[in-house]
Amino acid sequence: MQGFPFPELDWEGTRPFWKGAARGELVIPRCRACSAFVWYPRERCRACRSANLAWTRVSGRAALFSYTVVHDVFVKPFAELVPYATGLVVLAEDPAVRLATLLVDCDPAALRIGQPLRAVFRPLPFSGPEVLAPLFTPA
């Protein structure tokens, strides 16, 4: 298992998320009883307490909720990324679901909150194994 800042691909709480990403799919847990998305993942639906959840593929369409352009190296593995844009996006299916992501193939200075984005599946940009991840780019 690769270390920080790579994800723990086998950790049960987020294993389907990363397996989906490896297939090029964005999957989010959703309640079969009330249709609410359950994010971050939990064993039970926050809305209705049902344990009947299923990881569900979503479109990958999203909007930019907020972001920052990181210019300084806080953590050594991020050194090769700097400067980079990271932030939160909200899903087209439910704006209450916020994903942290890297914003790629864009001019960081041209980013604006609310702009439409789409998911692209790229290897995480750190030295080490190839781990496909849902990153976001202007739609």
Partner 1 sequence: MGRAPDAWGVASPLEDVSGEVAVVGVGESEHTRASGRRAVDIAATAVEAALADAGLEPADVDGLLFSGGLPEQLDAAAFHAHFGTRHEIWECPRGGGMNLAATAPLEAARALREGRASALVNAFAVAWASQRAAMTGGPGQFHAQEHYKRNLEVPFGWFPQPVYFATIARRHMYEYGTSPEALGEIAVACRAHANRHPGAVMYGRELTLEQYLERPMLCDPLRTEDCCLISDGGGAFVMTSRERARDLRHPLVTAIGMGEARARTGTYWAQQPDFTATPQAFSAPPAFAMAGIAPVDVDVLTLYDPFTIAALMQIEDMGFCEKGEADAFIRAGSLRVDGGCLPYNPHGGMLSHAYVLGIAHVVETVRQLRGEAHAQVPGARVGVYGGYAGHMASTLVLARS
> Looking at 33, 96, 105, 116, which residue binds partner 1 (CB under 8 A)?
96
Question: Is position 8 an interface residue for partner 1 (rule: CB under 8 A)?
Answer: yes
> Which residues in the 19-38 window bind partner 1 by CB under 8 A?
none
Question: Is position 5 an interface residue for partner 1 (rule: CB under 8 A)?
Answer: yes
Q: Which residue has the tokens 């041209």?
A: 110
> Looking at 50, 55, 63, 65, which residue binds partner 1 (CB under 8 A)?
65
Q: Which two tokens stand for residue 84?
A: 């980079």
- Assign residue 114 a region: left if phi > 0, alpha if psi is -120 to 50, beta otherwise? left
**Which element (helix H / strand E) includes 108?**
none
Question: Is position 14 an interface residue for partner 1 (rule: CB under 8 A)?
Answer: yes
Question: Is position 13 an interface residue for partner 1 (rule: CB under 8 A)?
Answer: yes
Q: Which of 28, 6, 4 is nearest to 124 (CA)?
A: 6
Question: Is position 79 an interface residue for partner 1 (rule: CB under 8 A)?
Answer: no
Helices (H) and strands (E) counted in the chain, each on its own, are 1, 7
| Nearest-approach distance from CB 63 to partner 1, in angstroms | 12
Q: What is the DSSP letter of 48?
A: T
Cα atoms in the 13 Å half-sphere on the side-chain side of 28: 21
Q: Please identify, among the stretches 29-37, 55-63, 68-76, the one whose residues bind partner 1 according to the rule CB under 8 A.
A: 68-76
Residues of the shown chain interacting with partner 1 in the complex, contacts defined by CB under 8 A:
4-8, 11, 13-14, 17-18, 39-41, 65-72, 74-75, 78, 81, 84, 86-88, 96, 98-102, 113, 124, 131, 133, 135
